[in-house]
Structure 1
Amino acid sequence: MGYQALYRVWRPQQFIDVVGQEHVTTTLQNALMQQKVSHAYLFSGPRGTGKTSAAKILAKAVNCEQAPTSEPCNKCAACLGITDGSISDVIEIDAASNNGVEEIRDIRDKVKYTPNAVTYKVYIIDEVHMLSQGAFNALLKTLEEPPKHVIFILATTEPHKIPLTIISRCQRFDFKRIQPQDIVGRMSQIIAETGTSVNEQALHLIARAAEGGMRDALSLLDQAISFSSDEVTVEDALTVTGSVSQAFLGRLAKAIYEKDVAEALQVLDELLSMGKDPTRFIEDMIFFFRDLLLYQMAPGLAGSFDRVLIDPEFENLVKTINSDQIYDIIESFNKTQQEMKWTNHPRIFLEVSLVKLCHREQAAEISGTHIEQLQHKVEELERQLQELKEKGLTAAPAAAQPTQQKTQRVNKKSYKAPVGKIHLILREATKPDLNRVKSKWGEVLEQLGIQNLKSLAALFNEAEPVAASSTAFVLKFKYDIHCQMTMENSRFLEAIASIMQQVTGHRLELAGVPESQWSQIREEFISTQQMDGTSEVETKEEDPFIAEARKLVGDDLLEIKD
């Protein structure tokens, strides 16, 4: 048999081998021992964190001849057959390439047949979020009430794309990114058993580059072993991962602090000539200064740092660079990192950023001298003002004060709703459209929480839809500030439009209006429609009780109050 990659050879075969997911493995082991295995599970989390491996281990454990057991024995015929894929009762399906309705209908038709070789028939559907809407609908009833001999295990990296009706029918387990120290421990165990020689610091570099994925870490380790000759050194790990050594980062930080533009550009040129990725380089710089800041504020947390090793040079930089300078450097690098995403010449942005940082430090030093001069001038003016007060000559300034306060009050502006846009929506608004938005509003708020937009959801706590058309809807806010914060954030508006398309099937644009302005805008619109001889919106939105009252007493005697 040909060579197999490390992550395939050392794929976990027991729950104890699944590193960094104790909150998942412990729960599953307890369920196995207590014989409380659910009919459906959803494993979600980043790539390479053990979702599919845990699914196969669970399939072996429930079908092991030693069951009930917390770990599969990996010796019986059932365990060995599931491991090598020879038992047809454990079916792995890639939803990325089998995402149609017909594939799910085939599962639904075959699920009623009892397993041939083991106790439970287990369906492992990987990347389940890739299924079409029709496929999800076909899976619903089977997933909720499958036969007693069937277990479904769904795995995904994007749980927010899965319908809530599917999620509610599963026990959900969220796999988290694996900590670097756990990755290093697993790699050390593998190296000890394979007899490979690897530098300890090189392992830490590989673990940091893997960004929480064990599969990525083992792939990088495999690549570093192939690249090296006898021992995997730090330089080998830096070359394979594209990372920058701490020595170079320290040189660059020192050059920025000393305002040495030539040295900073020289370090950058050396790194890029070595083939380092500019995007990876600026990320390493941000994390380096982040660790500088954290070590200044909380030296006791040094053991949890992911990117640096505490050496004498690093400690000297901590004592030399103050926190305000670190704030400015991180902010500047972060802005440069965003700009580099949209350019074909990232080196130019890096060079400009370094030059700007060096000059910013010089400007700060110059401004320090000006501040001292200004302080002396302020003290002199205060002394002169005190003399004027003693002489009774401060009436003119005192008289000017109300004018200044009045100007400030005039300049203060409150949020004004987009009346024209709201009138356009009201002109096309219908009662069914409004009912559809109201019925889905709870799902919209829930999706905001799932997509890490809880701050936006908080603004909508006391907001309600008051009008809707087929293309947009009006949302009434209780507080003006909540309405203003929402309507001035384009990211929030785009998120709401996308979620509306997801839950209602139509992309609906949001128009916000404060509660204090809504009644006036609505009355103005109704009066305008009546003047034009049309009352379409009023009729569409009119309450049936008001309509009946209008028939009984007429418009002259009818008065409507919100």
Structure 2
Amino acid sequence: MYQVLYRKWRPKAFAEVTGQQHVTKTLLHELQSDRIAHAYLFTGSRGTGKTTCAKILAKAVNCLHPVNGDPCNQCEICTGIDDGSILDVVEIDAASNNGVDNIRDLREEATFTPTAAKYRVYIIDEVHMLSIGAFNALLKTLEEPPAHVLFILATTEVHKLPATILSRCQRFDFKRIAPEDMSKRLHYVAQQEGIDLTEDGAMLISRIADGALRDALSLLDQCAGQGGRVDEKAVTAAAGLAGREHLFILSKAVRTNDVPLALEVVDQLHSASRDMARVCEELINHYRHLMLIRSMEDASRYIVCSSQELDQLKEEASQYTMPAILHALSVLGRVLDHMPSVANRRVEMETALVRLCNPQLDGSNEALVRRMEKLESAMRSGRLTPSTQTSGTAVSHQPEAQKEHLESETVAENNIYQPVKETTAVPTKKKPSQQAVQPVPLTCWPEVLSELSQTAKPLHGVLDGSAAYEAGNRILIDAPNPLAKILINEAEHRDALRQAIQNQTGRRYGLGPYRREENSDHQDPMAALEKKLDALGIPMDKK
């Protein structure tokens, strides 16, 4: 009967364990110096070698002919433990044997001496699944076990263990296996099994396994079952992942706001029976790579990919801004959380891409920062400049504050910063009744800003340092930040501002910008001083 690779190539000596030298070195020294503890706790993520090291340790303490601390794997004890004929080594699954009665039975068995081996070894896997009562029943035996008993506890969630258990064990933390170490092990296994494994295929398997060698060997077994060469293309097909080209096309579509292209790619992936959750995970990982490249000079240490793909990632990252990358990570992260509970994952993925291509459809803070950064970049490069006039429109030279009083309420409702087109006319003297109302400061403006800090935080941020003036049935806003004009022109923020003003004043006002009057006859004070000194014949030294 065929035996899967991760079982066939399970390490039988500490030297064969991959990526856990800090654990194996300590255990070997304890075995060589005969300083064996009565209880061990192995913690770490799945597939990192916890159960493997527990079985090697169980054989090493009972081996008849140990070799520098390692088991010989040839004596009757070692072979008996491997084939399960030695009953002195017991492996217990705590997920299905988690009750008080199970632990009581274990305590009763522990009092009996081993039948064939030197130690009776109990390997309790997933020990965090034990109930509180079971933990309490195990405490006394774990603290002072018989001399012939050895406990080895293994768990992936050490934070769920009581402190009383942790204090009674010698703890070893297993790290995720580095991709380079995992790739070497995969090449070794592939060579022994006669599998044609390429370098890029091994690296992709290592990246997918995420530090778990057992998962990597299982995926290699699956790829080898397809026949032929195990390269990047074969691994992509076996794992059900989106190919690299799809990820780059999707990120380009988001960058260029190309919604049709993004939806077309999703349709192709769906037609190929790709799992949308896996596609979302790969796209998140893709944007993580872009974030790392944008954040540091050399990100190759933290990105598992070929040199050719790294060049592609660098080129793509150079065309992205950090706010856009963070916005994509935020949206895709929320979508990935929701996918397990939605009926149609494709729709969820399409919705996310539409929001990424159109940040104005997303009300999150990340989307707003992305839009603001784009506006600031356009203003710095000269592609967008704040303007108070429309080209081809003649604007009268009357004081700006008075001109605002003559603008219609309809203009204020739709776009408060849209200039009013005026025709050049012969100036006529206005009657006193026609004079505009002089603006007066709005005393409750701090309270309005305080309310906005709760209801419209982005608008509150750009209105920092602003002032407001009441002029008849309109509120004129004096904001030093040019982005305030852009935000207030949006219906959502304009309505929030008007509602906050109404809550404080009890009246419904129109909105408009406040522009300070400019005195055309005003003269520079320095120029006036220079003129007076010239009249008196006093020279003025200009520096």
After TM superposition, is the score higher than 0.5? yes
Of 284-293 and 108-117, the range deviating more from structure 2 = 108-117
Aligned residue identity for 1:106: D
Partner SS, residue 152 of structure 1: strand
Q: For 2:307 and 2:246, how far apart are their aligned partners in 1?
A: 13
Number of the residue aligned with 1:102: 101
Equivalence map 1:365-376=2 (5 Å): 375-376=386-387
Contact map agreement 1:62 1:68 (CA 8 A) in 2? no
Q: For 1:251 and 1:123, how far apart are their aligned partners in 2?
A: 53
Equivalence map 1:465-480=2 (5 Å): none
- Check if 1:80 corresponds to 2:50: no
Give, in angstroms, the shift of residue 375 of structure 1.
4.1
Number of the residue aligned with 1:200: 199
Partner SS, residue 80 of structure 1: helix
Q: For 2:192 and 2:59, how far apart are their aligned partners in 1?
A: 25
Aligned residue identity for 1:257: R
- For residues 464-518 of structure 1, give each alpha carbon's deviation from its aligned partner in whole angstroms, at most 9, with x where no partner exists: xxxxxxxxxxxxxxxxxxxxxxxxxxxxxxxxxxxxxxxxxxxxxxxxxxxxxxx
Contact map agreement 2:93 2:124 (CA 8 A) in 1? yes
Number of the residue aligned with 1:274: 272
- For residues 71-108 of structure 1, give each alpha carbon's deviation from its aligned partner in whole angstroms, at most 9, with x where no partner exists: 22222332222222222221222222333333322322
Partner SS, residue 72 of structure 1: coil
Number of the residue aligned with 1:190: 189
Identity of aligned residues (%): 43
Number of the residue aligned with 1:428: none
Give, in angstroms, the shift of residue 57 of structure 1.
0.5
Equivalence map 1:27-66=2 (5 Å): 27-66=26-65
Would the alpha carbon gap of residues 309 and 86 (structure 1) be closer, same or farther in structure 2, given more than 3 Å must change? same
Give, in angstroms, the shift of residue 223 of structure 1.
0.9
- For residues 396-432 of structure 1, give each alpha carbon's deviation from its aligned partner in whole angstroms, at most 9, with x where no partner exists: 99x948765587789999xxxxxxxxxxxxxxxxxxx
Higher helix share: 1
Contact map agreement 1:291 1:307 (CA 8 A) in 2? no
Equivalence map 1:96-175=2 (5 Å): 96-175=95-174
- Check if 1:248 corresponds to 2:246: yes
Q: For 2:19 and 2:203, how far apart are their aligned partners in 1?
A: 16
Contact map agreement 2:291 2:322 (CA 8 A) in 1? yes
- For residues 131-167 of structure 1, give each alpha carbon's deviation from its aligned partner in whole angstroms, at most 9, with x where no partner exists: 3333322222111111112111111223233332222
Contact map agreement 1:92 1:126 (CA 8 A) in 2? yes
Number of the residue aligned with 1:323: 322
Would the alpha carbon gap of residues 101 and 260 (structure 1) be closer, same or farther in structure 2, given more than 3 Å must change? closer
Q: For 1:79 and 1:96, how far apart are their aligned partners in 2?
A: 27
Q: For 1:369 and 1:124, how far apart are their aligned partners in 2?
A: 64
Equivalence map 1:57-456=2 (5 Å): 57-67=56-66, 69-227=68-226, 229-306=227-304, 310-311=308-309, 312-360=311-359, 364=371, 375-376=386-387, 400=441, 404=445
Number of the residue aligned with 2:488: none
Q: For 2:41 and 2:106, how far apart are their aligned partners in 1?
A: 18
Aligned residue identity for 1:305: I
Would the alpha carbon gap of residues 5 and 406 (structure 1) be closer, same or farther in structure 2, given more than 3 Å must change? closer
Q: For 2:230 and 2:277, how far apart are their aligned partners in 1?
A: 25
Alignment TM-score, normalising by the size of structure 1: 0.64
Aligned residue identity for 1:293: M
Contact map agreement 2:335 2:352 (CA 8 A) in 1? yes
Contact map agreement 2:66 2:72 (CA 8 A) in 1? no
- Structure with higher Rg: it is 2
Q: For 2:332 and 2:354, how far apart are their aligned partners in 1?
A: 12
Partner SS, residue 137 of structure 2: helix
Contact map agreement 1:199 1:232 (CA 8 A) in 2? yes
Give, in angstroms, the shift of residue 331 of structure 1.
2.1
Partner SS, residue 358 of structure 2: helix
Would the alpha carbon gap of residues 322 and 117 (structure 1) be closer, same or farther in structure 2, given more than 3 Å must change? same
Give, in angstroms, the shift of residue 64 of structure 1.
2.1
Give, in angstroms, the shift of residue 42 of structure 1.
1.3
Aligned residue identity for 1:239: A
Partner SS, residue 354 of structure 1: helix
Contact map agreement 2:277 2:336 (CA 8 A) in 1? yes
Q: For 1:53 and 1:66, how far apart are their aligned partners in 2?
A: 20
Q: For 1:411 and 1:48, how far apart are their aligned partners in 2?
A: 51
Q: For 1:337 and 1:231, how far apart are their aligned partners in 2?
A: 33
Contact map agreement 2:198 2:230 (CA 8 A) in 1? yes
Of 95-104 and 27-36, the range deviating more from structure 2 = 95-104
Partner SS, residue 300 of structure 1: coil
Partner SS, residue 173 of structure 1: strand
Give, in angstroms, the shift of residue 291 of structure 1.
0.5
Number of the residue aligned with 2:537: none
- For residues 172-231 of structure 1, give each alpha carbon's deviation from its aligned partner in whole angstroms, at most 9, with x where no partner exists: 22223222222212111101111110222122222222222111111111111112x221
Partner SS, residue 92 of structure 1: strand
Gaps of 5+ in 2: 362-369, 390-398, 401-437, 455-543
Give, in angstroms, the shift of residue 280 of structure 1.
0.7
Gaps of 5+ in 1: 379-383, 386-395, 414-562
What is the aligned length?
Answer: 397
Number of the residue aligned with 2:11: 12
Partner SS, residue 36 of structure 1: coil
